[in-house]
Every structure is written in C-alpha cells, then in structure tokens.
Amino acid sequence: MTGQSQWGRVDSDGTVYVKTRDGERVVGQWPDADPAEAMALFTRRYEGLRVEVELLDKRVRGGSLSPEQAESTVASVRETVASAAAVGDLDSLLDRLDALGTVISEQREQRKAAKAERTAQAKSAKERIVDQAERIAAGTDWRGGADKLRALLDEWKTLPRLDKATDDPLWHRFSSARTSFTRKRKQQFAELNEKRQAAKHVKQRLLEEAERLAKSTDWGPTSRAYRDLMQQWKAAGPAPRSDEERLWTAFRAAQDTFFSARDAANAEQDKEFAANAEQKRAILEEAEKLVPVTDAAAARTAFRPLSERWDAVGKVPRSDLRELEGRMRAVENAIRDAEDAAWTRTNPEARARAADTVEKLEASLEGLRADLDKARSAGNDKKAREAEQAIEAREAWLVQARKALADFS
C-alpha cells in the first residue's frame, strides 16, 4: 500500500488526510514513517469504525435497543465517526447512521402504538375486574366470592398501571367492592355464628332431656317424646362445627340406649306372646269353619264364645297381630253381612214396597196393552209403536221387581 488511496493521502512530511464530501481534513501525522504504513494504520481505524457502525445498525433495526437508547447511541457514534482519525469512506458511515433516524422514528411510533394497545387492553381488563368485583359484592356467595375476589386482585397486580386519572377511579371502585363484600361477609358470619351459638344452647338442652329419658321403661310415651326431641333438634339448625358432632353423637347415644332397651323388652315380650298367638290360631280354625254363613243366627251364637275366648287369650307378637286380627275380623264381617241380608229379606216395609212396585207395573202394563189394541184398531201405527216400546220397558222392569219380591219369600 502506498501513501495514496481513494479516501485519503499522506504528504511528504507525514501528515495524514482523509477525503470527505466537505473536502480534506487532517486526521493525524506520522513523521519519518513509511507513508504506506501510516495509510494502513489509519485505514484499520476506519475498518474498526465500519464494524462498529454495522453492529449498531443491526441492533437498532433488530429492536434490541429502545428508541431513546438507539437515538443516544447513534448520536454518540456519529460524533465519533464525524471526528474520527481514520481514513475510509466516512461519509457512507455517516449516511448509514443518519438513515437510522427514520428507523428509530418508525420504531418509536410502533412502540407508542403497542403501548397504547397494551394500555387499552389493561384498561379493558381492569374495567372487567371492577365489574366482576361489584357483582360479587352485590351477591351472597360468601365462600366462593372471597376466593374470586382474591383471584381478581392477583390478576390486577399483573396489569400495568394506567394514567392516574384512569387508574385511580378504577382502583377505588375495585377496592370499595372488596371492602363492601368483606364487611357484609363478616356481618353474615357473625349473624350465622350467633344463630349457631343459639342452636348450641338449644341442642345442649335437648341432649340433657334425651339423656334423662334414656333409662325410661315407659316405652310408648317416651318413644313419642324422642320423636318430639328429634323434630326440635332439626328445627334448631346447626350448631358450631366444633360442637355439632359432639352434641349429635351424645344425642344419638341417648336415643340408642332407650330404643335398644325398648327393642330388647319387646323381643322378650314377643316370646311371651308367642303362645298366645298359637291359641288364637286354634280359635281361628274353629271360627273360619263358620264361613260361608248359611244360618246367620246359628253362626252368631257359635261365634260369641269364640270371641270371648279370643279376648281372654291376651296380646300376641306384633309381627303376628295384623294377620290374626285380620282373619278374625273377616269371620265377624261375614256373619254381620249374613245378618244384614237376613234382615233385609224379612223386613216387612221393604217387602210391602216391592209388592207395591210389582202391582203398579202390572197395572201399567194392562193399560198399555189396552192402548196398543186401540191404536192398532184405529190404524195409528205411530201410537202403536210407542205403546209397544213402553210395554217392552215395563215388562223388563216387572221381571226385576218380581225377583226383588221373591227375595223376601
């Protein structure tokens, strides 16, 4: 390399010049040096600047620097290039740096638009959070609502802050909704706790009564008393969770003590009543032989001592009671039905009414037959047909009336 190039020269006294669009300027001096070495040194300095400008160009265009950082860095590098002690196409480096100004302006607008979009999205998200919080605050989902409000607060924290005029009112609404919900929730749980404390006192009293009755052997009244206690227990509502299970366990234990004793006593009693059941089955065998009833008076006479023996036997096991009583009642009903039928057959008033009905129907038929003969003699077919129809109906009634009268014979 000589002391001359497209972008600069070295004169005879070792002064080094660079050529720019504004003319030559001195960039250094190397007296008594080989002009070629001097030119190589200052050219290498230019190469370093060129690499630095290329790297900066890539960083700016790649968006790795903010517009402010890029603008500041480009200005600093441009100042360095403009006054650089180097030989090379410095104007092209300056032009390349100047071209980045447009890129930086575009990036600034893009970032501004992106920030505006993020702000709009954050505003929309916060408005949604506020609306949801206010709906929750107006409701009564105390457990689920508290969880949802915590989740909404966590989401709010992830969103960027808006301008003060927009962000503060939204935060105030959100905070007010949370405060309102928390206040009402505390009041609700305070009232609920008060009710549960009252229920605890009621159930404690019911437990004491249940334990007092647990050893009773007055089975019927005590069983009814326990049913009443259970209804009162249910009506009292829940006690505090820490007390409810304890109270209920003790209450059930008292019930179980009584009903187990009652069931054991009933089982023992059923054993005693088993022999009675066998006696009543023997009586039933005699009683059921009276059915079907052919002579009501005789059946009643035979049934009376059987009924007296039945009552004298005494109680039977509950498992047999319905069957045995039902069978005995069926025999008694059969005898009563036979007695009612006998009375109906011998009732003089009813027989007189039946006889009167027969006589009236017979008289009516005689008159209708006379009317039929007259109609036929006169050739009046219409009246003849009417008479025939009336006779047919009266004859059918007369058959039924005679059957009813025959039942009284």
pLDDT in tens, 161-217: 888 888 899 899 989 999 998 898 888 778 888 888 898 899 889 888 888 988 998
> Tens digits of per-residue pLDDT, 97-134?
999 999 999 999 998 898 888 888 898 998 899 999 98
Q: Is the pLDDT of residue 74 over 90?
A: yes
Write down the domain spans for the chain.
Answer: 4-109, 115-192, 193-265, 269-343, 348-406
Rounded CA-CA distance 162/118 in Å is 10
Share of the chain above pLDDT 70, in %: 98
Rounded CA-CA distance 75/259 in Å is 99
Q: Does the model's pTM come out above 0.85? A: no
21-30, 98-107, 289-298, 395-404: lowest mean pLDDT where? 395-404
Q: Is the pLDDT of residue 1 over 60?
A: no
Residues 325-331 have a mean pLDDT of 89
Rounded CA-CA distance 223/210 in Å is 11
Residues 277-304 have a mean pLDDT of 87
The residue with greater pLDDT, 222 or 358, is 222
Rounded CA-CA distance 386/164 in Å is 108
Residue 160 DSSP code: P
Q: What is the pLDDT of residue 409?
A: 58
Rounded CA-CA distance 320/278 in Å is 10
Q: Vertex 242, ends 241 and 244: CA angle to 5°?
A: 60
**What's the whole-number average pLDDT of the chain?**
87
